[in-house]
Amino acid sequence: MRILVTGGAGFIASHVSDRLLSLGQQVSIVDDLSTGRRENLPDAATFYEIDIRDKALEEVFEAECPDMVIHHAAHANVTESVRDPQHDADVNIGGSINLFECCVRYSVDRVVYASTGGALYGEACYMPADESHPIDPVSPYGVSKHAVEQYLYAYRQNHGLEYVVLRYPNVYGPRQDPHGEAGVVAIFALQLLTGRQPVIFGDGSKTRDYCYVGDIVDANILALNSPGGAIYNLGRGIEVTDLEVFQTVQEAVGSDEQPLFAAVRPGEVQHIALNASKAENELGWRWKVDLIEGISRAVEFYRADNERMRT
């Protein structure tokens, strides 16, 4: 099978690409490297350094003739989306439309779309939130990600483009960028490993649903052959506070450094956890890696990466 992965130099999609290649699939990757890292790219994949908004994207489809597309490329900074909603929409909505037009033109069978659960539901009315929960995003990022879900529905109705939407929780693990806005496991790990004092935005009580990247990859693979037109939450359904995450990373690193506390950032949901029972029942997906084990794996990756950078 020929599979095109957008954002494949990024954290999650590079792991997805690795898994696809291990399963014998032919993989091509599109990424503009604005946030992705070239070193994340698997050698066996064909790489195109292209923005998904670019008209040159069609040349990739012409060359690769993908059967399926796994779509992860996005502007994923919540705080920046509040400051510059136009750019967020240009990338996430405009870029996705450009991608879907290519999918229709070149008869792609299916799109697996990486959406968001954490930013899409807003402040939860109940938890864990299931797929029927009201959609009330408090950030332009959440708005744009949901808009793309709606476009997929329209493309299926009008053009027969099949899709599966995966609404992600907070995903963590090796390769997550410790220099970005999101990804507190990566950020805390690098700060503690390099002797810097970590910063927690808020009082540490903000909660998220954390899921290890390998478990998220499993869902992407299952979605390639599942019934189409479906939306699935992914996650453990467990609220974890920022302070609990920090303490778990602190223990894995072996540090006694204490955090600073700063003002809450605009656009951030304060509490969310996702009910993934639909994915369990229909996809056969369930998380496997618990938080302590997952953070331990992540910390060892950042420890080795930090030592490599110093030599």
Catalytic residue positions, numbered: 141
DSSP code of residue 74: -
| Closest to 12 (Cα-Cα) out of 182, 190, 200, 191 | 182
- Indicate the SS3 state at residue 277: helix
Burial class of 310 by CB neighbour count within 10 A (0 to 12, 13 to 18, 19+): exposed
How far apart (Å, rounded) are the C-alpha atoms in residues 117 and 267? 14
Extended beta strands in 45-126, E state: 46-48, 68-71, 110-116
All residues at 6 or more sequence positions from 152 whose CB lies less than 8 Å from its CB, including other chains: 100, 111, 113, 161, 163, 165
DSSP code of residue 69: E
Q: Which helix (H) or strand (E) holds 130?
A: none
